Amino acid sequence: MERITNLERKYVGEVLDNAFATSLNSTFNNKLEKEFAEIFHTQYAIGHCNGTATMHTALAALGVKPGDEVIVPPLTMSSTSLAVLHNGSIPVFADVDADTFNISPEAIEKVITSKTKAIISVALYGLSPDNDAIRAICKKHSLFFIEDNAECFLGTYKGKLVGEFGDFASFSFQASKHLSTGEGGMLICSNETFADNARRFNCLGYAGVSAKQGKITRQDIQDPRYARHISLGFNYRMSELQAAVACAQLERANELVQQRIKVAEIFDQVVNSTDLLRRQVEPDEYKNSYWSYSVILNTDKPETEWYRFRDLFVKNGGDGYYAAWMLSYDEPLFRNIIQKWNGVWQKYQAGLCPTAEYLQKRMMQLKTNYWNLVEAEQQAEILQKTIKQF
Ligand SMILES: Cc1ncc(COP(=O)(O)O)c(C=O)c1O
């Protein structure tokens, strides 16, 4: 199986053949947004340049303000909390569940204050968080819910697609993701006012754009009295070249996701037969889309043993696997700079989220983007050998 096929090449060729003619310069963006919204049974999809900008847009579009608090998990790529900072808001960290590694609803409840305005959950490594519980908390405390699904495409929760639960759901098309355009993102929602706000925010505050209309007209811009900017926005748009690739990838989404699931099944055969590794638990009624295959190294000495296992695996011919990112609140940015912001009541220090801290030190993220299953089988054999030797 190929990650990039002649379909992607054909669509990109069409954009180049059109030489970015203004009249045609939204063709793939419009097609992509329409099809994306249909897949997630929603009304609006708004293309973005990446899956960090999407979340900044979502917060701004919901009216979350500087100084407001937004609850996020610490065990994630930091874009989740960086987007909160981009909005001038304050990330408040809630611990994660020891089995699913996703944000824990009980932990969320503990950090809600009168300043909390929203929760951003993450479908970590492709697995849904407990959306029903998070929605119930949002309803009880009148909070907005944003899904960060950068790592999850076509994963499901109780029979519905991950992405069908939040006020906004965000996706990334960065190079490592299920669908890739190199860089890119998508934001979906069902509320027209929020979608209008989102489009305008991602499009420099232009008056002429709206929920379903990502472009201002030629008549508008040819009028010297045309007042363009009615609010402050960023230029977070997706380019037509990215959209062309994304349209092709979306047509192939099923095969791209299924391939990762097959790779996970291959790793399962090894991991399920050892106590040394413990995989991310997929509860009943959840379907993981396996952006990566994540396991915990069962050890009391992660400081040395993580490296010893990794070195042995690589020596045996294994691909280097990834560690979990440092917990966001452990990053120097948070410890040294954000901690000093006015209004940050939470102490960004060790002990804040003990479960996340336990998991982070032991996490191994095995790649699932093998386009040839023979390679995945070889990696699984090397993993097996490494476990025996360790
Ligand atoms: C959980 C999560 N959120 C957000 C992002 C940011 O996406 P992007 O790189 O498209 O900005 C990523 C990864 O890139 C991610 O893994």
Range of weakest confidence among 55-59, 185-189, 214-218, 280-284: 214-218
Average pLDDT on 143-167 reads: 98
User: Which residue do the tokens 């699904």 mark?
Assistant: 149
Which of 56, 172, 369 for a ligand 1 pocket mutation test, highest count of atoms within 8 Å of Cβ?
172
Residue 176 Cα: closest atom of ligand 1: 14
Q: In this structure, which residue's CA is closest to atom 7 in ligand 1?
A: 51
Q: How far apart are CA 344 and CA 340, in angstroms?
A: 7
How far is C-alpha 370 from the chain's CA centre?
A: 20
Residue 56 has pLDDT above 90, yes or no: yes
49 CA distance to ligand 1 middle (Å) = 12
| 177 catalytic residue (yes or no) | yes
19 CA distance to ligand 1 middle (Å) = 30
Q: In this structure, which residue's CA is closest to atom 12 in ligand 1?
A: 150
Which of 86, 127, 174, 180 for a ligand 1 pocket mutation test, highest count of atoms within 8 Å of Cβ?
174
DSSP string covering 151-176: T-SS-EETTEETTSSSSEEEEE-BTT
Range of weakest confidence among 17-26, 72-81, 270-279, 283-292: 17-26
Interval 89-122: pLDDT, tens:
999 999 999 999 999 999 999 999 999 999 999 9
Q: In this structure, which residue's CA is closest to atom 8 in ligand 1?
A: 51
176 CA distance to ligand 1 middle (Å) = 10
78 CA distance to ligand 1 middle (Å) = 8
Residue 330 has pLDDT above 80, yes or no: yes
Q: So what's the pLDDT on residue 332?
A: 98
Helix pair 192-202, 53-61: axis angle to 10 deg = 130
Q: So what's the pLDDT on residue 277?
A: 98
Range of weakest confidence among 7-11, 130-134, 222-226, 315-319: 222-226
Residue 183 Cα: closest atom of ligand 1: 10
Residues in Cβ contact with 229 at an 8 Å cutoff, skipping those fewer than 6 apart: 204, 205, 206, 207
169 CA distance to ligand 1 middle (Å) = 13
Q: Which residue among the candidates 177, 287, 361, 367 is catalytic per the annotation?
A: 177
DSSP run (H or E) holding 13: helix 6-17
pLDDT-derived band at 223, boundaries 50, 70, 90: confident
Q: So what's the pLDDT on residue 320?
A: 77
Average pLDDT on 63-80 reads: 98
Average pLDDT on 23-52 reads: 95
As for ligand 1, residues whose beta carbon falls within 6 Å of it are 50-52, 76-77, 79-80, 122, 148, 150-151, 172, 174, 185
The length of the chain, given as a count of residues: 390
Residue 174 Cα: closest atom of ligand 1: 10
Q: So what's the pLDDT on residue 213?
A: 85
More reliable by pLDDT, 128 or 224: 128
Q: So what's the pLDDT on residue 103?
A: 98
Residue 375 has pLDDT above 90, yes or no: yes
Residue 84 has pLDDT above 80, yes or no: yes
Question: Which of helix, strand or coil describes residue 322?
Answer: strand
pTM, two decimals, is 0.97
190 CA distance to ligand 1 middle (Å) = 22
Residue 151 Cα: closest atom of ligand 1: 16
